[in-house]
Structure 1
Amino acid sequence: MTRLDLVVRRSTEIVPGIREIEFRAPDGRPLPPHPPGSHLVLDCGPVGNAYSLTNTGFDTYSIAVLRRGEGSAYLHGLRPGDRVAASTPRCEFAPVSTARKHLLIAGGIGITPVLAHVRDAERWHRDVELLYVHRPGAGAFADELAARLGPRLRRFPDRNAFGAGLAAALRDQPLGTHLYVCGPGGLLDRVLRDAAAAGWLPPRLHLERFVAAELDPGREFVARLARSDRDVVVPSGTSLLDALRGAGVDVPNLCRRGICGECRVPVLAGSPLHRDEYLADDERRSAVMCCVSRAETDTLELDL
């Protein structure tokens, strides 16, 4: 796996608790390009966390980090000149090039990949509309978005106020519009539920969870390792990834949230219980993201 060495170019608090950090290559060379909606996994001290890129250039990478938890606190402490390691950018949330219009919905810090969509849409003259839900005083990039979008931006102070705006937006879109939503799980679930009820088809709905959904501990199952002819018990409350690593099986991993795709393992038999945000529908019978997903059957046979 390709890894990048990045140096902090700038770190600025844009609203209370949210810091925008810009990185560049130490030697000033161009960084790998990426489409809007991309993320990269940064080494945040002892943990690796996925962060959405707010820009689409290749001279620098920019992220916006809400301070909550160990990884974000580490990033908030970085200053110009500090170095970090990162994955190359990955994208499962890019704009659809054939869409007639792009309806963007963001909740809180979920604005980060959506901002990249807006910036790129303005560059290429794509038709976009944005619904942005955030607490008063916590609207990251609100001034820039207002300047870029004008009346195509609608801001809501809470989810209750958002409901009526969402209903109207779902009804009043031209044929060929695609919807993109990023934010906390409750917001995503509401948008997808209301969109389905309004007749939106799944291929036109695109999501990215800013954090992994809260997961139940699941039931115990056995991971059967076909190549090494071993059985590994995965207890309730223990991830498949941790059970495998505890048994001495080295599985590459980064985000541990079902987002980055690094811990993908081929499945030979059994039915995975998918809880990731990475695998496409046509991949879910033959692979599992072992950091978050489990098994619906008593045994899950893996190509390990």
Structure 2
Amino acid sequence: MIVSALKLRVAAIDDIAPSLRHLRLEAADGSALPPTGAGAHVLLSLPGAARTHRNAYSLVNPPGTRSGYDVIVRRVPTSRGGSATVHERLRVGDRLDAQPPGNLFAPVRPARHHLMIAGGIGITPFLSYLQDAGVRQTGASLHVCCRESEKDVFQPWLPDGADVRFHWDADGHRLDTAALLADQPAGTHLYVCGPSDLNDAVVRAAAAAGWPASQVHTEHFGGASAGGNAFEAVLHKSGLRLRVAEDESLLEALERAGVAAPCLCRGGACGVCITPVLDGEPEHRDHCLSPAERASGRLIMPCVSRARSPQLVLDL
């Protein structure tokens, strides 16, 4: 069983765009919440029609906030339950279970400048960056690739004087990534958060421009575990056999069966859920395992990865 450490209440809901909903979450008992940090996220348990979905959302609060948590969630047309619940089922006053804030995408404090590139809802972790005193003092610039209709949506979370530029798919407004990366002072750290295609393109451009890998940081979101053939997961130690459906992740199938599987990011980045594989062929979709670890076929990250073979035997 997953034990939740926080009990939250939906204090306010605001539809800030046709597909974007802002939630204000406060402690159900009115107490102070654990403090947040720039780039932090919170893992929410969202009751769906058939099962509970556990999704991580970036906090857009100023660092140190304890009075409540603010998240912005995009309605995904192919949602497997998380965003659909937020947009269709949640009401003010509803109670939610949550884990304390985690942070896998904090700004690097020794950086001489912080350069951020966001794709769509990938702006959310950077809203807290721009409200961080240390980041502001060092110097930061944010470039957002989004729909033209959404370029003003995030203004309430942008501090006065912040260097923020929006780009969209029109002549004169597209982001020139190569030119941007070439025009940065030494010691700059690059952060990118968005769909995999954007993240991968920016990382490739940074490598081509000679940026050290240690100064390039990414956070991925959405879709990695969605879609794929159903398969059977066999838990070697308990003998339990689980069918993992086309529309659920291996981690969700484990949780559905009551298996206490550790997790943190649910996006294939943190490594907390790494599980040994005894038999079968994994289909790796994570951002954590090394090429050698993937090639061995002996490890899997259940939060996003699936099976190429009809069956996986896990050391659980």
Q: TM-score by structure 2 length?
A: 0.76
Q: Is the 8 A contact 1:244 1:250 kept in 2?
A: yes
User: Deviation string for 1:37-89 (max 9, x for gaps)?
Assistant: 11122122222222111112122111011122332232235343222111221
Instruction: Out of 75-84 and 196-205, give the one that drifted further.
Output: 75-84
Q: Is the 8 A contact 2:224 2:267 kept in 1?
A: no
Is residue 276 from structure 1 mapped to residue 282 from structure 2 by the alignment? no
> How far is 1:26 from its partner?
2.0
Instruction: Out of 199-208 and 1-10, give the one that drifted further.
Output: 1-10
The match for 1:206 is 217
Identity of aligned residues (%): 38
Q: Matched residues in 1 for 2:231 and 2:83: separation?
A: 32
Q: Is the 8 A contact 1:44 1:72 kept in 2?
A: no
The match for 1:6 is 8
Mark the CA change 1:103 to 1:252 in structure 2 (over 3 Å): closer, same or farther. same
The match for 2:155 is 142
Q: Is the 8 A contact 1:7 1:83 kept in 2?
A: yes
Mark the CA change 1:256 to 1:199 in structure 2 (over 3 Å): closer, same or farther. closer
SS in 1 for 2:203: helix
User: Deviation string for 1:207-244 (max 9, x for gaps)?
Assistant: 1122133767489898673x45x697999968544776
**Letter matched to residue 32 of structure 1:** P
SS in 2 for 1:98: coil
Q: Is the 8 A contact 2:146 2:166 kept in 1?
A: yes
Mark the CA change 1:173 to 1:218 in structure 2 (over 3 Å): closer, same or farther. farther
The match for 2:72 is 64
Q: Matched residues in 2 for 1:29 and 1:243: separation?
A: 34
The match for 1:186 is 197
Mark the CA change 1:83 to 1:235 in structure 2 (over 3 Å): closer, same or farther. closer
Mark the CA change 1:283 to 1:204 in structure 2 (over 3 Å): closer, same or farther. farther
The match for 1:27 is 29
The number of residues matched between the two structures is 298
**Letter matched to residue 101 of structure 2:** P
Q: Aligned-residue CA RMSD in angstroms? A: 3.9
Mark the CA change 1:154 to 1:213 in structure 2 (over 3 Å): closer, same or farther. same
Q: Is the 8 A contact 1:274 1:288 kept in 2?
A: yes
- Which structure shows the higher helix fraction? 1
Is residue 167 from structure 1 mapped to residue 201 from structure 2 by the alignment? no
Q: Matched residues in 2 for 1:215 and 1:8: separation?
A: 27
The match for 2:60 is 54
The match for 1:130 is 142
Instruction: Out of 287-296 and 49-58, give the one that drifted further.
Output: 287-296
Map 1:222-241 → 2, pairs under 5 A:
225=236, 227=237, 240-241=250-251
Mark the CA change 1:215 to 1:243 in structure 2 (over 3 Å): closer, same or farther. closer
**Letter matched to residue 207 of structure 1:** T
SS in 2 for 1:175: coil
Q: Is the 8 A contact 1:274 1:284 kept in 2?
A: no
Q: Is the 8 A contact 1:39 1:52 kept in 2?
A: yes
User: Deviation string for 1:107-159 (max 9, x for gaps)?
Assistant: 1111111111111147762310110111122133136537341xx22211228
Q: Is the 8 A contact 2:111 2:138 kept in 1?
A: no
Q: Matched residues in 2 for 1:138 and 1:119: separation?
A: 20
Is residue 252 from structure 1 mapped to residue 284 from structure 2 by the alignment? no
The match for 1:98 is 110
User: Deviation string for 1:160-203 (max 9, x for gaps)?
Assistant: 76655322220011111111111122211211111111111222
